[in-house]
């Protein structure tokens, strides 16, 4: 293949400028799905897509596509991208690298005046993070027919705002149907978000699959009462129930399988007052593993634990699994395409499985898919200090370019 490479300085300038949107004082970004900052990020992206000559389509879920025509427009396109929504006070790399990297691939091909056989489409998926609206990966989930559109529109944030109404409010409830269509393949470049590449001193990985995971909402209801006069044996303390769940998650992961991880990441306590026994607690549980049986067993165990503590403490409880994604091995041919693109550039590399969820999970159910990972410094992500060396971002993006070019000329 001719030697076409991404332009690091243009990409970097765009990356820095994009990350001024919703920038936080501590060096992160705050652009949760469908917030005003997310709208501004989308507006900027659409403008840049159009500047790069892409024809832009926004679908009913607010997924943004930019299409570059191929020599043969009737062939199924190669799709690549990621997401521009962030965690609350999240990092500058998660998702953005994959979207702006996709745009850089297009700009590089424009500069080289290279027309691929197949059309290319870059994409920014809606609500990948799942932090404001659960579950995560809603945009790609509807696109891949995992959720129906009305279910997605009905999802509410903690203030009772609905996804569909917020999408309308920010002006990104598009016309194009959000449904599966014929795609040649899907690629996504992303930061690893774990420690492995850095520990091994490797700049890049071909991603072979993604952990399965389960998300659960749990609530306990006890009785608020005075913290002073109420004897210990007359209490129905919802927070005691929650604390058992937190400990149980630790215990279950210790014995539940080599790679099983579990997290209680969110806790809402009411009335949350120093001298009142907690009446209600709402919490979340997240279990993940590449072994689906380990995830299912962990879910069963935590549900039993919840029932047990509720009985012991005299609490009512509710338990709901709000999402269950199966472990997802990517397409062998797409993985090898990524490996070929890495080897062409002579990089050392490894093959990894992702502990983080990605839109690529769902894309893999409708078309051949793989991902490219670049190192996360100190394995840190979902935090403002998330960082990846710029040279590594470029390595990953250049590998994306190589993978896209290979697949885009397959006829």
- Interaction site with ligand GLV (CB under 6 A): 129, 136, 356-357
| Smallest distance from ligand GLV to CB 266, Å | 12
Q: Among 184, 176, 78, 91, which Cα is nearest to 126's?
A: 176
Distance CA 63, CA 172 (A): 8
Q: Does 278 bind Mn ion (CB under 5 A)?
A: no
**Residue number with CB closer to Mn ion (127 or 337):** 127
Nearest residue (CB) to ligand GLV, 262 versus 278: 262
Strand partners, 216: 285, 321
Which residue's CB is nearer to Mn ion, number 101 or number 241? Answer: 101
Closer Cβ to ligand GLV, 90 or 222, answer by number = 90
Contact 213, 357 (CB under 8 A): yes
The residue with its CB nearest to ligand GLV is: 357
Nearest to 325 by CA among 271, 381, 281, 363: 363
Spell out the residues 6+ positions from residue 191 whose beta carbon is closer than 8 angstroms to its own: 93, 94, 97, 373, 374, 375, 376, 381, 386, 388
Neighbours of 50 (CB within 10 A): 12
Residue 95 interacts with, from ligand GLV, Mn ion, none (CB under 5-8 Å by kind): Mn ion
**135 touching Mn ion, by CB under 5 A:** no
Strands (E), 211-310: 212-221, 261-263, 267-270, 280-289
Q: Rounded to whole angstroms, how far apart are CA atoms 111 and 6?
A: 10
Task: Kindly state the tokens that stand for 259.
Answer: 């790679």
- How, if at all, do strands 64-68 and 55-58 pair? antiparallel
* Minimal distance, residue 138 CB to ligand GLV, in Å: 12
CA distance 271 to 280: 8
For ligand GLV, the closer CB: 127 or 397: 127
d(CA 53, CA 286): 41
Binds 237: which of ligand GLV, Mn ion, none (CB < 5-8 Å by kind): none
The number of CA neighbours under 13 Å toward the Cβ of 103 is 32
**From 28, 95, 396, 402, residue interacting with Mn ion (rule: CB under 5 A):** 95
Partner touching 209 among ligand GLV, Mn ion, none, CB below 5 to 8 Å by kind: none
Q: Which is nearer to Mn ion, 140 or 280 (CB)?
A: 140
Direct distance between the N- and C-terminal alpha carbons of the chain, in angstroms, rounded to an integer:
16
Judged by beta carbon, residue 203 or residue 357, the one nearer ligand GLV is 357
CB of 129 to ligand GLV, least distance (A): 5
Nearest approach, Cβ of residue 151 and Mn ion (Å): 22
CB of 313 to ligand GLV, least distance (A): 30
User: Whose Cβ is closer to ligand GLV: residue 356's or residue 372's?
Assistant: 356
Minimal distance, residue 354 CB to Mn ion, in Å = 10
Minimum CB–partner distance for residue 357 and ligand GLV (Å)? 4
Given a contact cutoff of 8 angstroms between Cβ atoms, the answer to whether 163 and 133 are in contact is yes
Nearest distance from residue 359's CB to ligand GLV, in Å?
10
**Under rule CB under 5 A, residue 94 binds Mn ion:** yes
The item of ligand GLV, Mn ion, none sharing an interface with residue 136, based on CB under 5 to 8 Å by kind, is ligand GLV
* Cα–Cα distance measured from residue 239 to residue 286, given in angstroms and rounded to the nearest whole number: 19
**Which residues of the shown chain bind Mn ion in the complex (CB under 5 A)?**
94-95, 129
């Amino acid at each position: 293949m001719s030697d076409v490479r991404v332009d690091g300085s243009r990409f970097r300038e765009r990356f820095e400028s994009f990350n001024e949107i919703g920038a936080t004082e501590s060096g992160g970004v705050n652009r949760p799905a469908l917030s005003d900052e997310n709208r501004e990020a989308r507006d900027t992206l659409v403008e840049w897509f159009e500047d790069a000559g892409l024809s832009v389509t926004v679908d009913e879920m607010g997924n943004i596509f930019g299409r570059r025509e191929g020599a043969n427009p009737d062939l199924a396109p190669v799709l690549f991208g990621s997401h521009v929504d962030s965690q609350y006070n999240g990092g500058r790399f998660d998702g953005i690298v994959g979207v702006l990297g996709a745009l850089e691939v297009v700009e590089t091909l424009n500069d080289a005046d290279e027309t691929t056989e197949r059309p290319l489409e870059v994409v920014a998926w809606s609500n990948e993070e799942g932090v404001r609206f659960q579950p995560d990966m809603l945009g790609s989930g509807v696109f891949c027919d995992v959720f129906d559109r009305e279910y997605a529109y009905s999802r509410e944030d903690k203030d009772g705002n609905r996804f569909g109404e917020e999408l309308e409010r920010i002006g990104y409830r598009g016309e194009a149907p959000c449904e599966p269509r014929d795609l040649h393949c899907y690629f996504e470049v992303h930061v690893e978000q774990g420690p492995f590449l850095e520990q091994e001193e490797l700049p890049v990985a071909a991603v072979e699959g993604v952990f399965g995971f389960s998300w659960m909402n749990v609530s306990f209801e006890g009785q608020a009462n005075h913290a002073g006069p109420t004897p210990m044996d007359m209490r129905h303390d919802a927070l005691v129930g929650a604390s058992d769940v937190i400990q149980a998650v630790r215990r279950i992961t210790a014995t539940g399988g080599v790679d099983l991880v579990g997290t209680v990441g969110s806790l809402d306590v009411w009335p949350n007052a120093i001298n009142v026994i907690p009446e209600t607690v709402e919490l979340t549980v997240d279990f993940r593993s590449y072994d689906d049986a380990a995830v299912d067993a962990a879910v069963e165990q935590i549900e039993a634990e919840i029932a047990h503590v509720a009985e012991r403490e005299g609490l009512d409880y509710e338990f709901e699994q709000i999402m269950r994604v199966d472990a997802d091995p990517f397409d062998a041919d797409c993985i090898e395409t990524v490996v070929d693109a890495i080897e062409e550039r002579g990089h050392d590399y490894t093959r990894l499985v992702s502990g983080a969820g990605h839109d690529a999970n769902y894309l893999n159910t409708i078309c051949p898919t793989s991902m490219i990972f670049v190192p996360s410094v100190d394995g840190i992500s979902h935090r403002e200090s998330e960082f990846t060396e710029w040279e590594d971002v470029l390595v990953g993006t250049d590998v994306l370019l190589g993978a896209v070019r290979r697949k885009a000329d397959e006829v």
